[in-house]
Amino acid sequence: MANAIKPSNRALANLELESTVDLGDEIAKLPSYDPETCPGGLINLSGATNMLVNDLMRERMGKFVQDYDANRLSPALLYGPVNGPNDLSVVVAQFINRRFAPATAIQAGDILTTNGVTSLIDMMAFNFCEPGEAVMVLTPTYLMVPHDLCARTGVQMIPVSTESIPDQYSSMYAAKVVEKLEQAYIASYRRGVGVRALIICNPCNPTGRSYSKASLLEMARFCGRHKMHLLADEIYAMSSFEPLEPGLDMFSSVLSIQDSPHDSIFKENIHCLYGASKDFAAGGIRLGFLVTRNKLLWKTCRRLALFTWVSSFSTAFFTHFLSDTEAVDKYLALYQSRLRTSYIAASELFHKHGIPFRPANCGMFVFIELTKWLKYFEAPDVKSQEVQLYRYLAFQAGVHLNMGQLSLSPVPGCFRFVYAAGNTEAVALAITRIREALSKLE
């Protein structure tokens, strides 16, 4: 390696950042749980993988293969449109209009198809900001947002903590959330850093909560005052169910926000990201959708779409699925029923075993709070204690969860528990293992 020319400094800087890849490499070497061949193996619930609908998606794939013979699929071997075929944009727009309750009807021309929401976050940062400018992000947030925003764009990320707010998603505290945003905005400008956008996860990964309509409106007003874009990652939009606990809002899309010239709220500055990976358990087909009414922004994103070219096989399958609205509605109803059942089963076990968690009704995960067990690990700070607890759960308990600090959680000792990432028995066993491991510490 002595003769190897090193990468650029900006490339090397990415290696210095905390990485989920680096944290998981050692754990990935552990044997995986299998009830028959490896009952003591690692139960991996670290990825937000939707395993609740594998049978339904296999059925849809089978119907697709049945309906599309070799002659109809042969064009998929050729270069397709960079940003996907128009017929896909048409059915995605129809799906959004039926399911997201937009304030004005979404048109096919408002959709830009890419190879995933990760690519879209990178693309939006590039198109929102000049190098050195910033994007604000409410925390906790999806753990890859810092990477996706900043790895290539030269954009700064300003995390905005709501630790002191009892419920950042509730309409009751919408004004308090905006106070935090205003403080962060002012502090950034005092440093000479312009802020061009606010990004939220709605529903929120990792907490499994959706922002209330009032909260979304207040954030839109904040962005309007400061001439900022409001961008919502809504990839878990359909992963929601009637809450068991009081005070939890059902999903509302930012697309539902009405224009209000008095508040400088204009639909052209409010954007939504969606995709096939979560609600449709189809991460492998790599499809993400930008929904924007801003024509100039759409054009600048389209210019970058050569880097996010979509597969013709993927677009053919998803167009075929979404075109059958009756099948989509039946699928989502069954999925949401299964999701609620899985949440109930997990929450009952958490209560039974005395494992604190935050109530949720969206996404496919909950935030469990293991803060009081951090004290059993000797470390210079709570961050290091959380890493030790993370490793303890993986290597001693055989359960792999993502740490809250990766999601910029202001509360130490939180872990994302993905109750949809395994079958009922594996999820129940994981909770039992966590309880037993915590008891050994006490």
Return the number of other C-beta atoms located less than 10 Å from residue 326's C-beta: 7
Same-domain pairing of 40 and 92? no
Same-domain pairing of 168 and 238? yes
Residue 351: which residues within 8 A CB-CB, separation 6 or more?
none
Same-domain pairing of 365 and 425? yes
Q: What are phi and psi of 200, to 5 degrees?
A: -125, 150
Q: Is 223 part of any domain?
A: yes
Q: Which domain holds residue 389?
A: 9-54+328-441
Same-domain pairing of 347 and 371? yes
CB contact at 8 A, 204 and 216: no
Summarize pLDDT for 232-263 with one digit per residue, the tens. Answer: 999 999 999 999 999 999 999 999 999 999 99
pLDDT band at 16 (very low <50, low <70, confident <90, very high): confident
Q: Is 60 part of any domain?
A: no
pLDDT at position 1: 62
Q: Is 159 part of any domain?
A: yes
Q: How far apart are CA 116 and CA 126, in angstroms?
A: 16
Look up residue 174 and give its two tokens.
């919408």
Q: In this structure, what CATH number is given to the domain that contains residue 353?
A: 3.90.1150.10
Return the number of other C-beta atoms located less than 10 Å from residue 401's C-beta: 26
Question: What is the model's pTM?
Answer: 0.96
What is the count of structural domains for the chain? 2
Q: Is 70 part of any domain?
A: no
Q: What are phi and psi of 292, to 5 degrees?
A: -145, 140
Same-domain pairing of 300 and 383? no
Same-domain pairing of 240 and 278? yes
Q: Is 66 part of any domain?
A: no
Same-domain pairing of 308 and 419? no
Average pLDDT, the chain: 95
Same-domain pairing of 169 and 50? no
pLDDT at position 38: 97
Has residue 440 got a pLDDT over 80? yes
pLDDT at position 18: 62
Q: Is 61 part of any domain?
A: no
Same-domain pairing of 15 and 163? no
Question: What SS3 state is found at 311?
Answer: coil
C-alpha distances out from residue 123 to 4, 37, 393, 424, Å: 31, 44, 36, 38
Same-domain pairing of 279 and 425? no
Has residue 224 got a pLDDT over 70? yes
Same-domain pairing of 253 and 386? no
Summarize pLDDT for 128-143 with one digit per residue, the tens. Answer: 999 999 999 999 999 9
pLDDT at position 70: 65
Share above pLDDT 90 across residues of the chain, in percent, rounded to a whole number: 90
Same-domain pairing of 146 and 240? yes
Look up residue 66 and give its two tokens.
């049945």
Mean pLDDT of 276-297: 98
Look up residue 341 and give its two tokens.
């059942």
Last residue of a domain, one of 282, 305, 324: 324
HSE-CB at 284 with a 13 A cutoff on CA atoms is 6
Beta strand 414-418 pairing with 402-403: antiparallel
Look up residue 96 and give its two tokens.
């959004």
Summarize pLDDT for 146-181 with one digit per residue, the tens. Answer: 999 999 999 999 999 998 999 999 999 999 999 999
Angle at 56 between CA 52 and CA 61, to 5 degrees: 130
Q: Is 65 part of any domain?
A: no
pLDDT band at 77 (very low <50, low <70, confident <90, very high): confident
pLDDT at position 26: 85
Summarize pLDDT for 50-69 with one digit per residue, the tens. Answer: 999 999 999 999 999 888 87
Q: Is 71 part of any domain?
A: no
Last residue of a domain, one of 263, 289, 324: 324
Last residue of a domain, one of 295, 324, 353: 324
Beta strand 111-114 pairing with 270-275: unpaired
Q: In this structure, what CATH number is given to the domain that contains residue 201?
A: 3.40.640.10
